[in-house]
Amino acid sequence: MDLTQPLDEAAVAAIEGGMDRYAVLVFPGQDITDAQQLAFTEGFGALETTVAGNVSKASEARLDVRLADVSNLDQHGKPLARDDRRRMFNLGNQLWHSDSSFRATPAKYSILSGRRVSTGGGNTEFADMRAAYDALDGAARAEIEELVCEHSLMVSRGVLGFTDLTVEERAMFAPVRQRLVRTHPVTGRRSLYLSSHAGSIVGWPVPEARAFLRDLTEHATAPRFVHAHVWAPFDLVMWDNRQTMHRVRRFDAAQVRDMRRTTVAGDGPTWQAQAA
Ligand SMILES: [Fe+2]
């Protein structure tokens, strides 16, 4: 497919069908502009913005507010210094997560365009949360069925020791609730809704919740559930955050890596929705 061109309804439906089935799709050779990427993304629903999702100042932004800057670059196109606050914050992307699970309405699809890709490291790995759920035994499924977790960027960044946040940032990153088990609205498949942003389970002591979430994450990210994407220039990778987790692997910080993400917002909060 050529995603730089407007897609007709049949093409959008075909991609949605592929997403429902596979949860991750790769479109090689898409030399796409920001405007074209935004137009492609809008075909799948309302766009999420990057507001309140990072520690970058608006005045330092390299991209439109509807594009998440997943590069290692400053506003002048230069790689960020090793100890730059924005870089240290972005290192959280190396932990398994689901995009925007720290938002009350979390992300549906993420669409990531590799404009300049790393040549050493920098793979993006995907873990299938449906397969991880299916592999649980009946007792484990029963135990997690109704659990609700609290997610915050302070949790994932805290794991890496990045706790230097302003009062405003702490308020912005206040925890939100998400169900631990999600049901896909089309296929009816269950999946584990895990993310490194999850730091507690409602009604549980925090240490017990964190130990349990760590254990579930270890299960869910076993090699048999994981696919590693090795980037080529102009790959466009699309994934369903409701059904997968992902992480980026370590890469050379001195090399220019220009990755741009557009995001389709979810339908609404997850934690009140009764699993079907
Ligand atoms: Fe991500």
pLDDT digits (tens, 9 = 90+) for 246-269: 999 999 999 999 999 999 999 999
Could you read off the pLDDT of 96-129 as tens digits, one per residue? Answer: 999 999 999 999 999 999 999 999 899 999 999 9
Distance 69 CA to ligand 1 centre (A): 11
**Could you give the CA distance from residue 183 to residue 130 in angstroms, rounded to a whole number?**
9
Question: pLDDT band at residue 275, thresholds of 50, 70 and 90?
Answer: very low
Alpha carbon of residue 241 to chain centroid: 6
**Could you give the CA distance from residue 69 to residue 236 in angstroms, rounded to a whole number?**
15
Rg value, the chain, Cα: 18
Q: Which residues pair with 68 in a beta bridge?
A: 261
Burial of 110 from C-beta contacts in 10 A (0-12 / 13-18 / 19+): buried
Distance 144 CA to ligand 1 centre (A): 24
Q: How many CB atoms lie within 10 A of CB 251?
A: 18
Q: Which residues pair with 60 in a beta bridge?
A: none
For 98, the token pair is 């689901």
For 145, the token pair is 């069925």
For 260, the token pair is 């741009």
Could you read off the pLDDT of 145-187 as tens digits, one per residue? Answer: 999 999 999 999 999 999 999 999 999 999 999 999 999 999 9
Distance 204 CA to ligand 1 centre (A): 27
Distance 32 CA to ligand 1 centre (A): 20
Distance 98 CA to ligand 1 centre (A): 6
What predicted TM-score, i.e. pTM, was given to this entire model?
0.96
Distances in whole angstroms, Cα of residue 124 to Cα of each of 31, 108, 127, 187, 234: 19, 18, 10, 25, 14
Distance 245 CA to ligand 1 centre (A): 8
Distance 274 CA to ligand 1 centre (A): 26
